[in-house]
Amino acid sequence: MSMKRRVWDIVEVAKPGDVASRTFDIAILALIFLNVIAVIIGSIHEVEQRLGGFLSVFETVSVFVFTLEYLARMWACTMDDKYSNPFSGRLRLALSPMAIVDLLAILPFYLPFIGVDLRSLRVLRLLRIVRVAKVGRYYSSLTLIRKVFRARKEELILTSAMMGLLLVVSSSLLYYCENGAQPDTFSSIPATMWWAVATLTTVGYGDIYPVTLLGKLCASVIAILGIGMFALPTGIIGAGFVEAVQKTKSEPARCPHCGKLIE
Amino acid sequence: MSMKRRVWDIVEVAKPGDVASRTFDIAILALIFLNVIAVIIGSIHEVEQRLGGFLSVFETVSVFVFTLEYLARMWACTMDDKYSNPFSGRLRLALSPMAIVDLLAILPFYLPFIGVDLRSLRVLRLLRIVRVAKVGRYYSSLTLIRKVFRARKEELILTSAMMGLLLVVSSSLLYYCENGAQPDTFSSIPATMWWAVATLTTVGYGDIYPVTLLGKLCASVIAILGIGMFALPTGIIGAGFVEAVQKTKSEPARCPHCGKLIE
Amino acid sequence: MSMKRRVWDIVEVAKPGDVASRTFDIAILALIFLNVIAVIIGSIHEVEQRLGGFLSVFETVSVFVFTLEYLARMWACTMDDKYSNPFSGRLRLALSPMAIVDLLAILPFYLPFIGVDLRSLRVLRLLRIVRVAKVGRYYSSLTLIRKVFRARKEELILTSAMMGLLLVVSSSLLYYCENGAQPDTFSSIPATMWWAVATLTTVGYGDIYPVTLLGKLCASVIAILGIGMFALPTGIIGAGFVEAVQKTKSEPARCPHCGKLIE
Amino acid sequence: MSMKRRVWDIVEVAKPGDVASRTFDIAILALIFLNVIAVIIGSIHEVEQRLGGFLSVFETVSVFVFTLEYLARMWACTMDDKYSNPFSGRLRLALSPMAIVDLLAILPFYLPFIGVDLRSLRVLRLLRIVRVAKVGRYYSSLTLIRKVFRARKEELILTSAMMGLLLVVSSSLLYYCENGAQPDTFSSIPATMWWAVATLTTVGYGDIYPVTLLGKLCASVIAILGIGMFALPTGIIGAGFVEAVQKTKSEPARCPHCGKLIE
């Protein structure tokens, strides 16, 4: 077995019995989790002051490892039938969602070296959290949930569209009701959308709410309609799960007379 | 094919393969979306000041197009068997929900010309957002959701009635509990209904809440009962979806012996 | 047909075709709704000042009608096989939930005459709202919902018990976490229960919330567990509806061979 | 029957017909409930001042009874086949969850005697509330709920993981959006997690919310995604219940001809 094939086996999700590949998988997963924790605790001022140096070194090492993994994957991918062509195959891999996540996770580290000033682009550091999404590759049990979403895709899209419509209509309605009484809070329809989201999702922070009689009346109707925003997707997804679970179970029955499969 | 029939084919939802009609549909849809966006961003003071003139022209053009579409539909509808009578057929079309929406969407523009002062009726401008509802005509996949609601209609109405009852009873209860301690906030039962809606939908803005021991006790029980306001419609709709999905699947099976349909 | 039997037929829910009884039912229902509206708008100070006299007369008339109906039902009930015994039958009717509601709805009006001062017992006026519950007698379609609740009764009770346990445990936990930092707000475990209800039902008014790190940590876990407070009853009720709907459908199948019913 | 066996029968959940054991079970349950009530009302300052002495005596007596029960169980457990070995059997019982709960419930009372100062460890008094969990032993109907959770375990864990991921990502996102505008409230990613929990569970106290345009935009998307946090577990659990209910029903049918089981 060539070294290229061995590298490809290792960077891919381990096959049963491949101890080296499995160890590599677990190590990468652990490094991802440690990176997420580093980003989270690094945002605390006191931790940054105390452990700032250590976290910086840890980040450098992590990015180095992630870069190596990315390059190894890019180099060895031609061993796979899907990416066998040296050029177009590698491009297809580079444009796959997971490879883009991998690139985005290491890119912010290199940008300053090519002249992009990260201090003014601090938000790019956020991309490092994207590394968590790499975990998805190692998790194969998303299948049932993904199947349910795919089967009920059309209804879920339609529900989302109805939510969007409800959002737009209720924002417009409340804007015309409340703009006169609270010109600063309900200053425009987009500003009122913040109220509509808080109400329809039933979060209700309380930073913005109607005070006029008409506004409260409309808001009441909208809040009650908002219950449908929970009931519809929940009902759709629930039915999807019932269906998916029953499908996996129903093995074809045999006719007790002729022994042939029924249905 | 007469011109009248061609016009009718075009203003109606396109049949497969009718490119001109399909282009027309997409153009109208795009215009509706642009109008909604114009209403939304037009409510922002800065945008109104900068783009006010442009938005005004865009509105005039849009209303012109929508008026043409409305008149064309009214003129050509006699080609359809449903509206074949020149007078009663056109009246029936004019009174259909979608035609009323179409009329409401263009009416606010013409009202000032016939003497109605729109400045004192600013809220009528809201009607323009109704144009979004025209999208529904082009979307045929509402069927499953509509079927579920129709099948479970009686239970959903009953649940709504129970919600209404719970709303009235809890408002009355809290009014008697809290009116003494907070005469300004819980000033009457209708005023307390605003609290009841915020609580039963679990929005909870925090602008109005009980402070007395008895009020908090009643409010706790009401809030917990309010969970049923989610659970009941969600369960009903969920069961409706399960049923609808299973119905579409279960094609009648044939008995393997006599070849007749079973069940 | 004796007059007693006719009276009983009229006060009971109308049989199909009995016009007089049906008219009576509708009149009583209308009177109940008008009474609820009178209680609601009577609580508004301005309405009370303007229409106080009229509402008072309306209440007297209503109570007179409801009293007549109550007495007629009590007198005529012996015509029904269930309540045929003049004494024990009438007692059984008087102790049925609906008759108690009827009595509670008229009692507050008579109490002042027997010396009970209603001014100090203003809350008793609330009982008049109970008249709404009389509507339930005329509504026979509660059956499916009631069947679902009865079938899943045990699981719903268990879920309620788990909610109660979660309520007690989270209140205790937060009390010990927050009492030091906010001795006035989190003053005792019962006081903290108000917080627990607002959090577990996700109402979250914002009048009481943890501020310490430990308190926020515990509250986060509790709030996430609280999602189960929605998911469990919703799932149970949903499954109950699926089951109930399937049961009403599945008519017994016939064996294609011997023609006898299967299952 | 030896005394040891009789003691074991009594401390265990009663077998049908064993009156003494059943009386003991009910007495212990009542004592647990009274203890919970004592902890709850004992936290009210006025009650503590008035009934402090009585509650203290009641606690001493309760702990005495619970200690006796714990020791009796430990002594007699060798009568059970599962714990027959005098040493390893007793150790296995002592390490079972319920026995640990029993120990934790009485431990705080004894700690001061062995030198641990409870005044500085006031939070340990909380452990007394754990006594409630002992009720679980007497309740055998948890089975269906437990079965559903076990059957859908994998999906629920995955959903929890997705919630955790959503929590981390949204906290990071909002931290970078809002830290500039509100450095005190959104001071770090862990501090922002408090916001994320309040939003994703739709509690929304209103003590912390975004004020910048970008922050509100991100928060809106996150709040809407948070609906899935209800829909997914609810759908999964609902499907689990449907499946569990159908399984208990579908007893194997017998073929009417050959008498063999079908399906």
The pLDDT of residue A263: 45
Q: Residue B257 contacts by C-beta under 8 Å, 6 or more apart in sequence?
A: A257, A258, C256, C257
Q: Determine, yes or no, domain membership for B253.
A: no
User: Between A and B, how many CB-CB pairs are < 8 A?
Assistant: 125
CA separation for the pair A174, A194 (Å, rounded)? 11
Residue B257 inside a domain? The answer is no
Q: Classify D87 in phi/psi space as left (phi over 0), alpha (psi -120 to 50) or beta.
A: alpha
Q: What is the mean pLDDT of chain A?
A: 81
Q: Assess whether pLDDT exceeds 60 at residue B5.
A: yes
SS3 C263: coil
Q: How much is the pLDDT for A251?
A: 47
Residue C116 clears pLDDT 80, i.e. is over it: no
Q: Which of B205, B206, B234 sits opposite D234 (nearest CB)?
A: B234
Question: CA triplet C94, C99, C100: central angle to 5 degrees?
Answer: 90
Helices of type H across chain C:
3-11, 19-42, 45-76, 88-94, 97-110, 135-138, 143-151, 153-178, 189-200, 213-249
Nearest residue in chain A measured CA to CA from B252: A263
Q: What is the pTM of this model?
A: 0.83
Inter-residue contact B206 to C206 (CB < 8 Å): yes
Question: Angle, nearest 10°, between helix axes B153-178 and B213-249?
Answer: 170
Residues A28 and A79 in one domain: yes
In sequence order, which residues have a C-beta less than 8 Å from that of residue B138 and are 6 or more positions away?
Answer: B13, B25, B29
For residue C234, the chain D residues in CB contact (below 8 A) are 234, 237-238
Interface contact flag, C172 D230, Cβ < 8 Å = no
Closest chain D residue to C202 measured between Cα atoms?
D203
CA B38 to chain centre: 20
Is the same domain home to C157 and C134?
Answer: no
Beta strand extents in chain D (DSSP E only): 253-254, 261-262
β-partners of residue A22 are: none
What is chain B's mean pLDDT, rounded? 81
Whether residue B59 is found in the same domain as residue B13: yes
Q: Is the pLDDT of residue A12 over 50?
A: yes
Q: Which two tokens stand for residue C5?
A: 């039997």
- A255 located within any domain: no
The answer to whether the CB of D192 falls within 8 A of the CB of C253 is no
Judge whether A204 is closer than 8 Å to chain C, CB to CB: yes
Sorting pLDDT into bands at 50, 70 and 90, what band is B61?
very high
d(CA B187, CA B178): 9
**A160, C13, C75, C134, C143 from C137: Cα distances, Å:** 40, 7, 19, 6, 12
Average pLDDT of the residues in B91-117: 80
| CB-based contact D197 C220, cutoff 8 Å | yes
- Alpha carbons A207 and D210: distance in angstroms, whole number: 10
Q: Could you give the CA distance from residue C191 to residue D43 in angstroms, rounded to a whole number? A: 9
Give the integer Cα–Cα distance in Å for A41 and C62: 68
* Domain match, B101 and B38 both: yes
pLDDT for residue A198: 92
The string of pLDDT tens digits covering residues B129-177 is 666 666 665 565 567 777 888 888 878 888 888 888 889 889 988 998 8
Whether C71 maps to a domain, the answer reads: yes
Determine whether the interchain pair C202/A206 forms a contact, defined as Cβ–Cβ distance below 8 Å: no
D53 vs B119, which has greater pLDDT?
A: D53
Residues 182 through 201 of chain A touching chain B, CB cutoff 8 Å = 187-191, 198-199
pLDDT digits 0-9 by tens, A149-172: 888 887 888 888 888 888 988 998
B171 within 8 A of B196, measured Cβ to Cβ: yes
Could you give the angle at the alpha carbon of C53 between the alpha carbons of C52 and C55, nearest 5°? 65
Q: Kindly state whether residues D164 and D113 are assigned to the same domain.
A: no
C-alpha distances out from residue C107 to B172, C40, C60, C63, C130, Å: 18, 19, 12, 9, 11
Which CATH number fits the domain that encloses residue D109? 1.20.120.350
Whether B254 is covered by a domain: the verdict is no
Instruction: Give the closest-approach CA distance of D95 to chain C in angstroms.
Output: 23
Counting residues of chain B whose pLDDT is more than 90, the rounded percentage is: 19
| Residue A61's pLDDT band (cuts 50, 70, 90) | very high
From A123's Cα to the closest Cα of chain D, the distance in A is: 6
**How many CA within 13 A on the CB side of residue D90?**
10
Q: Are residues C10 and C114 part of one domain?
A: yes
Answer yes or no: is C106 within a domain: yes
Cα separation, A174 vs A189, in Å, equals 8
Q: Helix, strand, or coil here: D262? A: strand
Q: Which residues from D are below 8 Å from B238, CB to CB?
A: 235, 238
Residue D102 sits in the same domain as residue D203? no
C50 and C124 share one domain: yes
C49: Cα separation from own chain's centroid = 31
Q: Are B121 and B40 within one domain?
A: yes
Q: What percent of chain C has pLDDT over 70?
A: 83
Same domain, B42 and B132: yes
**Which residues in chain A touch residue B201, judged by CB atoms under 8 angstroms apart?**
202, 223-224, 226-227
Name every residue whose Cβ is closer than 8 Å to that of residue A17 and which is 6 or more positions away in sequence. Answer: none
Query: pLDDT at residue B261 above 70?
Result: no
Name A262's Cβ contacts closer than 8 Å, sequence gap at least 6: A252, A253, A254, A255, B253, B256
The residues with which A254 forms a beta bridge, in sequence order, are: A261
Out of A104, A138, A172, pick the residue that ends a domain.
Answer: A138
Tell me, yes or no, whether B105 and B155 share the same domain.
Answer: no
pLDDT over 70 at B18, yes or no? yes
Please state the φ and ψ torsions of residue D256, each to the nearest 5 degrees: -70, -10
Same domain, A13 and A73: yes
Write the pLDDT tens digit of every residue in A94-110.
898 778 878 887 887 78
Q: Is the pLDDT of residue B120 over 90?
A: no
Lowest pLDDT segment from A134-148, A218-232, C230-244: A134-148
Give C127's pLDDT tier (boundaries 50, 70, 90): low
The whole-angstrom separation of Cα D261 and Cα D252 is: 6
Contacts of C234 in chain A (CB under 8 A): 234
Name the D residues in 147-176 with CB < 8 Å from any A CB.
Answer: 154-155, 158-159, 165, 168-169, 171-173, 175-176
Q: How many helices (H) and strands (E) does chain A have?
A: 10, 2
- Which of D83, D116, D138 represents a domain boundary (last residue)? D138
DSSP B211: -
Supply the range of the domain harboring residue C118. 3-138
Which of B75, B108, B138 terminates a domain? The answer is B138
Question: Could you give the number of structural domains in chain D?
Answer: 2
Rounded to whole angstroms, the maximal C-alpha distance in chain D is 79
Give the whole-angstrom CA distance, residue D16 versus residue C204. Answer: 46
**Closest residue to A202, CB basis, from C202, C206, C234:** C202
In a domain, B145, yes or no: no
Q: What letter represents residue D230's amino acid?
A: F
pLDDT of residue B84: 86
For residue B139, the chain A residue with the least C-alpha distance is A158
Q: How many CB pairs under 8 A join A and C?
A: 10
Q: Sign of the C-alpha dihedral, residues D220, D222, D224, D226?
A: negative
CATH code at position C186:
1.10.287.70
Q: What tens digit of pLDDT does each residue of A187-231 get?
A: 999 999 999 999 998 898 989 999 999 999 999 999 988 887 777
Q: Which residues of chain D are under the pLDDT cut of 50?
A: 120, 251, 262-263
Contact at CB, A201 and D176, closer than 8 angstroms? no
Q: Which chains touch D (3 or more CB pairs under 8 A)?
A: A, B, C
- How many angstroms separate the CA atoms of B26 and B14, rounded? 10
* Cβ–Cβ contact B242 with D under 8 A: yes
pLDDT for res D263: 45
Work out the average pLDDT over C92-106.
83
> Which residues fall within 8 angstroms of residue D237, CB to CB, at 6 or more apart?
C231, C232, C234, C235, D148, D149, D152, D156
> Does the residue B262 lie in any domain?
no
Question: Which of B202, B206, B235 has its CB closest to that of D202?
Answer: B202
Among A234, A243, A255, A257, the residue to mutate for chain C (most C Cβ within 10 A):
A234
Give dist(CA D6, CA A165) in Å, integer.
69
Query: Minimal Cα distance from B203: which residue of A?
Result: A202
- The ipTM (two decimal places) reads 0.80
